[in-house]
Structure 1
Amino acid sequence: MSQHSSRPGTGRKLTLVVLGLAALMTTMLCAFALPSLNSGPHHVPVGVTGSPQAVEALRKNIDRPEWDARLYKTSDAVESAVKEGDISGGLAVTAQGVDVYTATAGGPSATSAVIALGDGVAAQNKTQATVHDLVPFTQDDPRGAGLTAALMPMIFGGIFPALILSSVFPGHRGLRLRLSGALLFSVVAGAAIAAVLQFGTHSTDGSYGLTALGVILGMTALSTTLLGLQALLGIAGFGLGSALMMLLGNPLSGLATGPHWLPDGWATIGQLLPPGASGSLLRANAFFDGAGAGYPALVLTAWVVLGGALTLIADRRGRRTPAHRSEIVATSHHSTVTPVQSEAITP
């Protein structure tokens, strides 16, 4: 009878697991395929300057969804905006030709698009385009391969501590040890990753301390969130969080191409997830002296707070559970002993 009654519940669980995995695989396919199929410039911010006639003609030429044209008074203003990461590139149309200002480290794909745009404008004006790469990658890593490769260690640096520490320090008693271990690991591993990028592969050349802090914050956001989900929801929470970070956050991070190369909606989602925010923070700290680091740092801080809140809820629930169980045991013991005592005094 009990076996027969348990079958419907087992069937529902199996159905939920199958449907959940199918939804996960579908989401994974969409996250990897759709952004790639629709990749290209999407509202890339580009500065323009020059004579009123040239600027007006240029703005009409780039009045398309691919570009977000912004007018500047001088070429120096365009240069400053590119160096600070406010725009992906700029065009200065003069009588001598077209000066194209780019920031390859800010997004190689957007840089290529800006250069092609400058060549087209120069051809229309029958002049030459001169490219000025104001924020390039390093000489030892001109394509930014090290920067792109750093994303996976950062993601796994959040997944592995939550998985391993949960096995080494299980249960409610090990919760604080798991959290402390994850924080310590983020500091050590984040500093190590930044050191490899800076001094090993020479992929970054900014302030090492600033770069390391950004990597540490990104790994902390990932590890604390996954620990909180695991502590509160068990293996299901850990699996859900890992899938979200790995299968959705990775392809939508835009670290290799820059966020403006992804469709608007996908790019927004990617920058709100820890992998995308970590990549943007790493790029800002490593090549733009921290310019533009505020938003991704805020996003990552919010994830750290979320992970801490989930852990706190799990900790409080774990404290109440032993007390509740002791009350049940005491009540059960009392109800068991009373009949025996009553029998003993019955004549």
Structure 2
Amino acid sequence: MVSQAPLTDDASVSSPWSVVTRAVVLLTLIISVLLTAFAWPSVRSSVHDVPIAIAGPAAAVQQVSAALSQRLPDAFDITVVADTAAAEQLIRDREVYGAIDVSTGTPQVLTASAAGVAIAQTLQGVGTALSQAQADGVAPAVAVRDIVSLPADDPRGAGLAAGALPLVIGGMLAAVLLTRLVRGSARRVVGALAFAVTGGLAMAAILQFWFGSIDGTYLANAGAIALTVAATSLTILGLESLFGYVGFGVGAATMMLVGNPLSGSASAPEMLPGWSGALGQLLPPGAGGQLLRSTAFFDGNGAAHSIIVLAGWVIAGLVLCVIGAQRVRRTAAPVAEQPVLATV
């Protein structure tokens, strides 16, 4: 005779309500952190301490500077130059984001949309407002010249802004896959560096030849992307080798929840609230975005800071990987000696 096992009471195997409560609270905290990390920089963004130039005679420069200080206090960090050529050179060298040129009498706005579309639009609006005020309500035509413009195939810079997240995700995925599939710290490091090169070549080709979002030298753009991916992946790999899953979680959260929102890729670091823009430029996503702008549109000008930051993260990741590998060897040595002692 076949006996049927009694049906299991669902209530006897269900989780306690306290577990459900903790899960709901944890999920609420996670979604709140995600919303804050990605929305706060955009909601609180404004123009502050944006470096610009004013070209013209001393009296006109003083008048424009006073008007700017009155309309937008603490919005601009002003550099005074003699003429239009000097202002254009500062823009091309990435010393300033744009300029207001009053050297010819009629205000002229010089912008660089490749350095940041939001700041270029702000400068255009400021120039129009100043010209209206100077003309006593009769607005003359204001000449706006884009000194370093974005490509015609992507005039809003959408591809460049959207490419910041794949750079972070690519570095994280490299760390995850290499940790799970590859054994040996040296092989993981080589794999991360090799992926940085191939990933940089692939992403630069997509952005430059397919989307038309960047200009400049292809290999220089690929090198900028490769250095960014290497900085991200090696840092996370090093933290994982030293602290395990906790280190991976800390590294991934730092790059994704802090570095990416504060990178300033969608606007400019100077438009982020408070100290967040400066902090973002010390992390791989922010430094990598600025480096790619320099190689793509400014012939590498202004790239020194970003290169130093990214190289520092690469070196830090390599050091962490070496320390983690040495710790693994020290831990494995006593375990390897146990069978020998048992045999004796």
TM-score, normalised to structure 1, is 0.85
Partner of 1:129: 142
Residue identity opposite 1:199 in structure 2: F
Following superposition, the deviation at residue 184 of structure 1 comes to 0.6
Following superposition, the deviation at residue 326 of structure 1 comes to 3.8
| 1:57-81 deviation digits (Å, cap 9, x = unpaired) | 1111223211111101111100111
| 1:299-334 deviation digits (Å, cap 9, x = unpaired) | 000000110010000111111112223455666x48
Instruction: Name the stretch that deviates more: 191-200 or 121-130.
Output: 121-130
Identify if the C-alpha distance between structure 1 residues 21 and 281 changes in structure 2 by more than 3 Å, giving closer, same or farther: farther
Q: In percent, how many aligned pairs have the same letter? A: 39
Give the 5 Å matches for 1:23-102: 28-63=34-69, 64-94=73-103, 96-102=105-111
Partner of 1:296: 306
Residue identity opposite 2:250 in structure 1: L
Residue pair 2:185, 2:322 contacting (<8 A) in 1 also: no
Pair 1:267 & 2:273 matched: no
Following superposition, the deviation at residue 241 of structure 1 comes to 0.8
Pair 1:197 & 2:207 matched: yes
Partner of 2:3: none
| 1:94-117 deviation digits (Å, cap 9, x = unpaired) | 454111000001011111111111
Q: Give unmatched runs, 5+ long, in structure 1.
A: 1-16, 338-347
Residue identity opposite 1:67 in structure 2: F
What SS does structure 2 have at the residue aligned with 1:137?
A: coil
| 1:177-205 deviation digits (Å, cap 9, x = unpaired) | 21111111110011111111111111111
Distance 1:186 1:261 in 2: 30
Following superposition, the deviation at residue 49 of structure 1 comes to 1.5
Identify if the C-alpha distance between structure 1 residues 224 and 22 changes in structure 2 by more than 3 Å, giving closer, same or farther: farther
The structure carrying a bigger helix percent of its residues is: 1
Residue identity opposite 1:156 in structure 2: I
Say how many residue pairs are matched. Answer: 316
Q: Give unmatched runs, 5+ long, in structure 2.
A: 1-22
Following superposition, the deviation at residue 41 of structure 1 comes to 0.6
Residue pair 1:110, 1:260 contacting (<8 A) in 2 also: no
Choose which of 177, 183, 202 in structure 1 pairs with 2:187.
177
Distance 1:244 1:25 in 2: 16
Pair 1:164 & 2:177 matched: yes
Distance 1:18 1:164 in 2: 30
Distance 1:69 1:323 in 2: 62
Partner of 2:121: 112
Choose which of 218, 228, 245 in structure 1 pairs with 2:238.
228
Residue pair 1:48, 1:69 contacting (<8 A) in 2 also: yes
Residue pair 1:98, 1:128 contacting (<8 A) in 2 also: no
